[in-house]
Amino acid sequence: MMPTKTNMQGNFTDKNCRMCKKPIEETQQHILQECEEISRITNQVENYSDIFQDGNVDSLRQAANIIIKIREVMETRLQQP
Ligand SMILES: [Zn+2]
Protein backbone atom coordinates (compact mmCIF):
# COMPACT_ATOMS: atom_id res chain seq x y z
CA MET A 1 0.00 0.00 0.00
CA MET A 2 1.21 3.45 -0.83
CA PRO A 3 1.71 5.94 2.03
CA THR A 4 -0.85 8.33 0.61
CA LYS A 5 -3.14 10.50 2.68
CA THR A 6 -6.22 8.57 1.61
CA ASN A 7 -4.56 5.29 2.60
CA MET A 8 -3.53 6.53 6.02
CA GLN A 9 -5.93 7.49 8.77
CA GLY A 10 -3.94 10.47 9.94
CA ASN A 11 -3.98 13.98 11.22
CA PHE A 12 -4.19 15.69 7.86
CA THR A 13 -6.10 18.94 7.59
CA ASP A 14 -6.68 18.32 3.90
CA LYS A 15 -6.15 15.58 1.33
CA ASN A 16 -4.16 17.65 -1.16
CA CYS A 17 -1.17 15.99 -2.79
CA ARG A 18 2.04 16.71 -0.88
CA MET A 19 4.21 15.82 -3.84
CA CYS A 20 2.97 18.14 -6.59
CA LYS A 21 1.42 20.61 -4.09
CA LYS A 22 -1.71 20.85 -6.19
CA PRO A 23 -5.24 20.88 -4.76
CA ILE A 24 -5.75 17.33 -5.92
CA GLU A 25 -6.69 14.50 -3.58
CA GLU A 26 -3.61 12.45 -2.72
CA THR A 27 -4.94 9.05 -3.69
CA GLN A 28 -2.93 5.99 -4.61
CA GLN A 29 -4.10 6.33 -8.19
CA HIS A 30 -3.09 9.99 -8.34
CA ILE A 31 0.38 9.16 -7.06
CA LEU A 32 0.89 6.21 -9.38
CA GLN A 33 -0.74 7.53 -12.53
CA GLU A 34 -1.45 11.24 -12.47
CA CYS A 35 0.97 13.11 -10.24
CA GLU A 36 3.28 15.25 -12.37
CA GLU A 37 5.92 15.43 -9.68
CA ILE A 38 6.05 11.65 -9.26
CA SER A 39 6.12 11.01 -12.99
CA ARG A 40 8.86 13.61 -13.38
CA ILE A 41 10.91 11.72 -10.81
CA THR A 42 10.23 8.19 -11.98
CA ASN A 43 9.57 8.95 -15.65
CA GLN A 44 8.35 5.41 -16.07
CA VAL A 45 4.88 5.17 -14.60
CA GLU A 46 2.73 3.40 -17.12
CA ASN A 47 -1.00 3.25 -17.16
CA TYR A 48 -2.11 2.18 -13.71
CA SER A 49 -5.01 -0.01 -14.81
CA ASP A 50 -2.97 -1.70 -17.55
CA ILE A 51 -0.24 -2.69 -15.14
CA PHE A 52 -2.58 -4.18 -12.60
CA GLN A 53 -5.18 -5.75 -14.86
CA ASP A 54 -3.35 -7.61 -17.58
CA GLY A 55 -1.87 -10.22 -15.26
CA ASN A 56 1.41 -10.00 -17.10
CA VAL A 57 4.25 -11.10 -14.82
CA ASP A 58 6.72 -8.68 -16.34
CA SER A 59 4.26 -5.84 -15.88
CA LEU A 60 3.62 -6.84 -12.28
CA ARG A 61 7.34 -6.99 -11.60
CA GLN A 62 7.74 -3.60 -13.23
CA ALA A 63 4.83 -2.24 -11.22
CA ALA A 64 6.35 -3.53 -8.00
CA ASN A 65 9.65 -1.86 -8.81
CA ILE A 66 7.90 1.40 -9.61
CA ILE A 67 5.91 1.28 -6.37
CA ILE A 68 9.07 0.61 -4.36
CA LYS A 69 10.77 3.55 -6.04
CA ILE A 70 7.81 5.89 -5.50
CA ARG A 71 7.57 4.89 -1.84
CA GLU A 72 11.24 5.70 -1.38
CA VAL A 73 10.80 9.06 -3.09
CA MET A 74 7.73 9.91 -1.01
CA GLU A 75 9.30 8.87 2.27
CA THR A 76 12.46 10.84 1.53
CA ARG A 77 10.61 13.89 0.31
CA LEU A 78 8.03 13.96 3.09
CA GLN A 79 10.64 13.74 5.83
CA GLN A 80 12.27 16.97 4.68
CA PRO A 81 11.18 20.11 6.49
ZN1 LIG B 1 0.43 15.03 -7.00
Q: What angle do CA 65, 66, 69 make, to 5 degrees?
A: 85
Distance 49 CA to ligand 1 centre (A): 18
Q: 17 CA to middle of ligand 1, Å? A: 5
Domain boundaries, the chain: 9-79
Q: What is the pLDDT of residues 12-49, one digit of tens each?
A: 899 999 999 999 999 988 988 889 988 877 765 555 56
User: pLDDT at position 73, please?
Assistant: 86
Amino acid 7: pLDDT = 87
pLDDT for 17? 95
Report CA(60)–ligand 1 centroid distance (Å). Answer: 23
Going by C-alpha positions, the residue among 63, 20, 64 that lies closest to residue 41 is 20
